[in-house]
Amino acid sequence: MTQNDVQVAFELLLQEITAVVEAVRRQGALCLEQGQLDEAQRAIEVARQCEAFRARVKEMQF
């Protein structure tokens, strides 16, 4: 495995995490619109955890 392969793997992982964050945000917004406040709060927490994970992965990338 080359350094370039590792960089590509990190980029793919970061893209996937970003896609998950966006999906969770959309779900949270939908829950808010429907008045499902507990579900919206859970979505916010999951999004925060995913964003924190993305930040840790980004730190490891360099």
Give the total residue count for the chain: 62
Q: How many structural domains are present in the chain?
A: 1
2 pLDDT above the threshold of 90: no
Cβ atoms of 60 and 17 within 8 Å: the answer is no
Rounded distance, CA 19 to CA 42, Å? 18
In a domain, 9, yes or no: no
Which domain range does residue 43 map to? 17-61
1 pLDDT above the threshold of 90: no
56 pLDDT above the threshold of 90: yes
Which residue, chain included where needed, has tokens 């893209």?
A: 15
> pLDDT: is 10 or 2 the higher one?
10
In a domain, 40, yes or no: yes
Q: What is the dihedral of CA 13, 19, 24, 29, to 10 degrees?
A: 150
pLDDT in tens, 9-55: 999 999 999 999 999 999 999 999 999 999 999 999 999 999 999 99
In a domain, 36, yes or no: yes
